[in-house]
Amino acid sequence: MTEGHRPRGNPWFVPAILLGMVLGGVTGALLGREVAVIRLLGDLFLAALKMMIVPLVASSMIVGVSSLGDIRRLGRLGLLTLAYYLTTTLIAVVIGLLLVNLFRPGAGVQAGAVFDRAMSDYSFLDVIRGLVPANVFRAMAEGDILPLIFFSLFFGGVLTTVGAKARPVLAVVEGIFEISMRMVRIIVAAAPVGVFALVATRLGAAGGWSGFAAELRGLGIYAATVLAGLGVHGIVVLPALLLLLGRRSALRFVRDMAEPLMLAFSTASSSATLPVTIETIDEKAGVDPRVGSFVLPLGATVNMDGTALYEAVAAVFIAQSYGVDLTLPVQLVIVLTATLAAIGAAGIPEAGLVTMVMVLHAAGLPVEGIGIILAIDWFLDRCRTTVNVWGDAVGAAILERFAGLTPQADE
Ligand code: ASP
């Protein structure tokens, strides 16, 4: 049914990433300096990720919004669903921010060149002002993704009200979305080489093992911070909401939903998991399929609590690594952009890494910082995807109670 969303079945991906990391480490340590060709490989990989931001984010947002149906008739269920998505995503971001400020995983990491952007003159109001693009093409060309998101939401929303004339446009955008997802998948398949090149370059520039050891340590604490945040959100916050609002026990619900959750972990893709999530929530958990079939497909591309949490932690970790002190306004910028980055991310492996670029850009942080987190991202991607799918499922169970649907005729 969801052709093009097939789970990535490559069993060599993870070993290849690990191998890339180790080889990169050894090469960088032996060389002890930057090598232009290796640097080029890493630069190409980062450029390829950046290249996908505009088509992927724009098409994903337009397709996502238009799946709501005529926006003027967005009923009670639609509004409640959006409110649930937004609230839980924000909670996840705040948990991530609190933990990363507490653990400070980037504190001991010396991320190469000193980064000297004047953060003090950067304000939250500037970001709000920048949300509405005077020229959407200029925003795209300059990699300003927030205005692009604003434009895409507006465009997609109005598209749903135009009717037959807009249908071909939607078909084109859906096509662009499918193609972009496949392109990302191909680029991500080159991640082992990217990891090799970025690790070798960083380590070479750091001049050897000592810098690397500090970085590995930082990376470990960073991963632990993301996992702790995902744990708090997935094991404490969402179950509490499920109990209070959905009147369901999380233990039972998690047992019912075990299959999609495991699939989410093994594919790192909410979209690939979606058909199983929809089926299981109806068959095993007994949630009204009318709710499931509306809340879950939208959630698979729009509602990503795990991704939002990760975006916030990663951005602050990178800032800490570069010795940038994040003021409150900049942290607010991160709250806003991490939320939008999660909404804009497609439900495919490493989509969060693509939209991460935009968070860094908006907060004025160096995009090369992605090189630091890349090595561990394959693992964190799986964990955050599991929380993403869990958030969608909990949402469906909660919203069922508030949807005001008449009970279904017998089954
Ligand atoms: N892989 C995630 C998902 O499909 C998105 C991400 O990269 O964070 O839900």
At 305-317, the pLDDT tens digits run: 999 999 999 999 9
- Residue 112, pLDDT above cutoff 60: no
How many Å lie between the centroid of ligand 1 and the Cα of residue 286?
26
Domain ranges of the chain: 13-402
How many Å lie between the centroid of ligand 1 and the Cα of residue 262?
14
Cα 137 to Cα 7, 94, 140: the distances in Å are 34, 32, 5
Q: Indicate which atom in ligand 1 lies nearest the CA of residue 351.
A: 7
pLDDT digits (tens, 9 = 90+) for 146-177: 788 889 889 998 999 998 999 999 999 999 98
Q: Indicate which atom in ligand 1 lies nearest the CA of residue 342.
A: 8
The pLDDT score that the predictor gives to residue 389 is 97
Which tokens hold the place of 283?
A: 């068959």
Indicate if ligand 1 lies below 6 Å from the C-beta of 345: yes
**Of 138-142, 217-221, 299-303, 380-384, highest mean pLDDT:** 380-384
How far apart are alpha carbons 54 and 32 in whole angstroms? 36
101 vs 297: which has the higher pLDDT? 101
How many Å lie between the centroid of ligand 1 and the Cα of residue 226?
14
The pLDDT score that the predictor gives to residue 84 is 95
The pLDDT score that the predictor gives to residue 291 is 85
The pLDDT score that the predictor gives to residue 394 is 97
Indicate if ligand 1 lies below 6 Å from the C-beta of 344: no
The pLDDT score that the predictor gives to residue 158 is 93
The pLDDT score that the predictor gives to residue 4 is 41
**Of 18-32, 140-154, 222-236, 371-385, highest mean pLDDT:** 222-236
Q: Report the residue among 385, 386, 389, 390 best suited for mutation to probe ligand 1: largest number of ligand atoms under 8 A from its CB.
A: 385
Q: Indicate which atom in ligand 1 lies nearest the CA of residue 388.
A: 9
Indicate if ligand 1 lies below 6 Å from the C-beta of 270: yes
The pLDDT score that the predictor gives to residue 111 is 63
How many Å lie between the centroid of ligand 1 and the Cα of residue 271?
9
The pLDDT score that the predictor gives to residue 7 is 47
Indicate if ligand 1 lies below 6 Å from the C-beta of 309: no
- Residue 1, pLDDT above cutoff 50: no
Indicate if ligand 1 lies below 6 Å from the C-beta of 273: no
Indicate if ligand 1 lies below 6 Å from the C-beta of 355: no
pTM for the structure as a whole: 0.81
User: For the structural domain made of 13-402, what CATH number should be given?
Assistant: 1.10.3860
Indicate if ligand 1 lies below 6 Å from the C-beta of 380: no
Indicate if ligand 1 lies below 6 Å from the C-beta of 28: no
Report the nearest-CA residue for atom 6 of ligand 1: 352
How many Å lie between the centroid of ligand 1 and the Cα of residue 389?
9
Mean pLDDT, rounded, for 401-406: 76
Q: Tell me, what amino acid is at 139?
A: A
pLDDT digits (tens, 9 = 90+) for 33-48: 778 899 899 889 888 8
How many Å lie between the centroid of ligand 1 and the Cα of residue 163?
31
Tell me the average pLDDT of the chain.
85
Q: Tell me, what amino acid is at 408?
A: Q
How many Å lie between the centroid of ligand 1 and the Cα of residue 348?
5
How far apart are alpha carbons 223 and 227 in whole angstroms? 6
Cβ atoms of residues 143 and 50 within 8 Å: yes
How many Å lie between the centroid of ligand 1 and the Cα of residue 181?
12
How far apart are alpha carbons 381 and 389 in whole angstroms? 12
Give the DSSP per-residue string, 231-291: HIIIIIIHHHHHHHHH---HHHHHHHTHHHHHHHHHH--HHHHHHHHHHHHHHTT---HHH
How far apart are alpha carbons 350 and 368 in whole angstroms? 16
Half-sphere exposure of 365 (CA within 13 A, CB side): 31
188 vs 207: which has the higher pLDDT? 188
pLDDT band at 239 (very low <50, low <70, confident <90, very high): very high
pLDDT band at 209 (very low <50, low <70, confident <90, very high): low
196 vs 411: which has the higher pLDDT? 196
Q: Report the residue among 276, 304, 357, 358 best suited for mutation to probe ligand 1: largest number of ligand atoms under 8 A from its CB.
A: 304
- Residue 11, pLDDT above cutoff 80: no
Indicate if ligand 1 lies below 6 Å from the C-beta of 268: yes
Cβ atoms of residues 358 and 145 within 8 Å: yes
Indicate if ligand 1 lies below 6 Å from the C-beta of 184: no
How many Å lie between the centroid of ligand 1 and the Cα of residue 303?
10
Report the nearest-CA residue for atom 1 of ligand 1: 349
Cβ atoms of residues 7 and 269 within 8 Å: yes
- Residue 363, pLDDT above cutoff 90: no
